[in-house]
Amino acid sequence: MKRIGILTSGGDCQGLNSAIRGVAKALYEHFGADLEIYGIKNGYHGLINGVYRKMEPIDFSGLLIRGGTILGTSRQPFKTMQDKDKDGVTKVEKMKKNYKKMKLDCLVVLGGNGTHKTANLLSEEGLNVIGLPKTIDNDLWGTDMTFGFYSALNVATDVIDRIHTTATSHSRVFIVEIMGHKVGWLTLYAGIAGGADVILLPEIPYDIDSVNRELAKRASIGKSFSIIAVAEGAISKEEAAMSKKEFKKHRAKMKQPSIAYRVADELRDKHPNEIRVCVPGHFQRGGSPCPYDRVLTTRIGTSAAQLIAKKKYGYMIALKDNEIVPVPLKDVAGKLKVVTPDCNEVVTARQMGICFGD
């Protein structure tokens, strides 16, 4: 009997359920009745506390278009994994204990950077682990694309598209804040796809005077409105020169609720047009996965099942040059895939006249 555990960890996104479905259906196809799948509730929290249930084939029906995760999820910071409780037991030790209690042959984890750091830790502790790359941020090292990214991109682009009509009607400057944590992939893609005039990213620190000059230039040639796409992690050139401690202290003093509102305040005294802010927030990670993510998660899920059948563990399933390939967890853990100023997308945007505030 083959016994497989599955959990989803970190922030949710579109495609988690379809990835779970891909793994399960391919496993059932290969092992038939000689298979038991255990759904572990709420990410690593469920593995730590032994909260799980045996699942049946019917549980994986209807998941292809369903958003969120049927298993639930939670954030368990990697830095606390070796912390001991009052009995002197670490979270890692608890996870190993419950893995053995379930008599698992493999643990399949769906998640982003933090999830895969813990997955690699468990692999190094001797557990059989396979990772699946999910995050709307597309910042996982070792894969060209994470599932959830294109679905979130569709939402973010739609927001910018719709902002265009009201911005044009009222001759306003609209600042749209896009999710992405510490990287700018989602903002970069949405900004290009949505026709933003200015894109501000964490990887390219901005100068507010440069942004204002771009707005003034547009106004001088008769452009009555402007769209600024701002990554939630965008930073100014002054902030980029700060130490980590100085930056944290500086941001703690920020009066505005987020970076988009700060940029708006910085521009109001310098630009005659009315300035408005739009923060779509968690809309970007909700709802059904787009067709691209449905295909990608199916490919990734079935590839995970093939590795399990071959007893090849310690890998993350990645997309490389449109091929699904295994990448060692140790090569992924702790690394961040960031936007580089000379990447093709940034170069293309600059050639179109898009300003990055630098």
- The DSSP letter of residue 10 is S
Report helix, strand or coil for 281.
Answer: helix
Buried b or exposed e, range 111-133, using 16+ CB within 10 angstroms: bbbbbbbbbbbbbeeebbbbbbb
Q: Which residue has the tokens 């608890």?
A: 94
- The DSSP letter of residue 11 is S
The pair of structure tokens assigned to 126 is: 């001797």
DSSP string, 103-155: T-SEEEEEESHHHHHHHHHHHHTT--EEEEEB-TT--BTT-S--BTHHHHHHH
Active site residues: 137
The pair of structure tokens assigned to 85 is: 């409780």
d(CA 1, CA 5): 13
CA nearest 155: which of 178, 138, 133?
178
Burial of 152 (0-12, 13-18, 19+ CB in 10 A): buried
